[in-house]
Amino acid sequence: MKLTYGSSKKGDVSEALRNISEPAALFFSVASEDMLERAASEIERFFPGVASIGGVGQAYIGKNFFDAGITVIAMKENIKVVADVLEQASVMPVKYIRRLENAIKAVGGERGKTACFDICSAGADVRAVTTLSDFLCRSGYDLAGGTSNSAAVACNGKVYRDACAFFIFKNLKGKIKSYKENIYIHPEGNEKQFMVTEADPKDYRIRTLENTSAEKVYTSELGISRDKITTQTFRNPFGHVCDSDTYIVSIKGVEADGSITTFRPANKMDFLTILSMGDYRQVVKDTISRIKNDLGGAPAVLSVNCLFRYIMFNDEHYWDDYLAEMSRSFSHAGMVGVGEHYNTQFVNQTMCCLAFE
């Protein structure tokens, strides 16, 4: 697959599309939700019938980063792709599962060569990922994607609220594989786990860990004051232990009763750890090596990086180096999202991607 792009800081869609020709699919991002409808309809007018999805957030391709106006990432060559949408994503997206099934049939789904990339409305992640992954993973198809920084997403020229827009890709020349990059580790010699003993998953609220307020456990373990909690998550997020893997749970806020709100729900009897930042430069190199080893070199990588990762990398003066590191090895493009999707899981503070052989 080949990636090209166009952008306009002014939000001029015609300018952003000027150097794009014969795309098989278009993934776009805009700086604000009020730009979404016009962008979607104009892209459809310029390229009628071409699969397109989009949302709100910053974008990147190669070494270039875009945080204003509109950015369009075009994909073509050796791929077959269909775009569609699951509506009512936070309530009952399964009502629209036939759209996913039909998209896979349309590309001629084949295990190892077919995958899904999605972008969903903020707050719709849990049911959207569950619905997509239930069908995809049973059929042997990978999933990667993330969350728009808005209540709406676009698909094929239209805007949908509370929805999950998706591409189904088939690689006509090789494999497609999903990857997850976690830059956080268990502190050396301390893999302590805390059972969630009281929680309100619908409100993304953890009330108690081991029958003690979540606030007290977190501050005591790290030796910090209450007012540091919301910024400490950049270095010490929660980790949800699931089988042999750990999925990141970012902290959103702390409440008067000592409960902690998060960007991903936790359920009663889940086991959480408090993670520490690892050697992120080495982790990125390891991810690149893993993709190359698995696929023998991947011409294209389409990714979603968490907003918190972007902020942290920026604070560490590493974001530009990160984009450069990825672009030295792959044709790399994607979006900064407010949540990430990897196969069966909705995660935070992570990079998730599809790599095309």
Same domain? 240 vs 124: no
Say if residue 305 is in the same domain as residue 251.
no
Structural domains in the chain (count): 2
Question: Which residues have CB under 8 Å from 243's CB, separation 6+?
Answer: none
Res 28: pLDDT: 98
The whole domain housing 189 covers: 184-276
Query: What stretches of 180-318 show up as alpha helix (H) in DSSP?
Result: 214-222, 229-232, 280-295, 307-315
Dihedral sign from CA coordinates of 270, 275, 281, 282: negative
**Residue whose C-alpha is closest to residue 143's, from 176, 121, 175:** 176
Band (19; pLDDT cuts 50, 70, 90): very high
Is there a single domain that holds both residue 8 and residue 102? yes
In which band, very low, low, confident or very high, does the pLDDT at 348 lie, cut at 50, 70 and 90? very high
Angle at CA of residue 191, ends 190 and 192, nearest 5° = 95
pLDDT band at 243 (very low <50, low <70, confident <90, very high): confident
Q: Record the tokens describing residue 20, joined without a space.
A: 């794009």
What are the tens digits of pLDDT across the range 87-101?
999 999 999 999 999
Residues 237 and 285 in one domain: no
Model pLDDT, residue 297: 79
Phi, psi angles (nearest 5°) of residue 152 = -130, 155
Are residues 195 and 158 both part of a single domain? no
Q: Examine the domain organization and report whether 347 and 221 are in the same domain.
A: no
Q: Are residues 120 and 106 in the same domain?
A: yes
pTM value? 0.95
The answer for residues whose C-beta is within 8 angstroms of residue 186's C-beta and 6 or more apart is 239, 246, 273, 275, 276
Residue 137 has pLDDT above 80, yes or no: yes
For 316, list phi and psi in degrees, rounded to 5.
-85, 5
Same domain for 67 and 198?
no
* Residues 17 and 148 both lie in one domain: yes
**pLDDT higher than threshold 80 for residue 151:** yes
Q: Report whether pLDDT(169) > 90.
A: yes
Mean pLDDT value of segment 272-277? 95
> Are residues 151 and 297 located together in one domain of the fold?
yes
Instruction: Tokens 């294209």: give the residue.
Output: 300
Q: Clarify whether residues 94 and 142 are in a common domain.
A: yes
Residues 167, 190 within the same domain = no
Which has the closest alpha carbon to 274: 190, 199, 346, 341? 190
Query: Which amino acid is residue 226, in one-letter code?
Result: R
Last residue of a domain, one of 257, 276, 295: 276
Last residue of one domain, picked from the residues 248, 276, 304: 276
What percentage of residues in the chain have a pLDDT greater than 90? 95
Q: Is the pLDDT of residue 84 over 90?
A: yes
Kindly indicate the confidence band of residue 189, based on its pLDDT and cuts at 50, 70 and 90.
Answer: low
* pLDDT confidence bin for 328, thresholds 50/70/90: very high
Domain boundary among 261, 276, 291: 276
Report the SS3 class of residue 64: strand
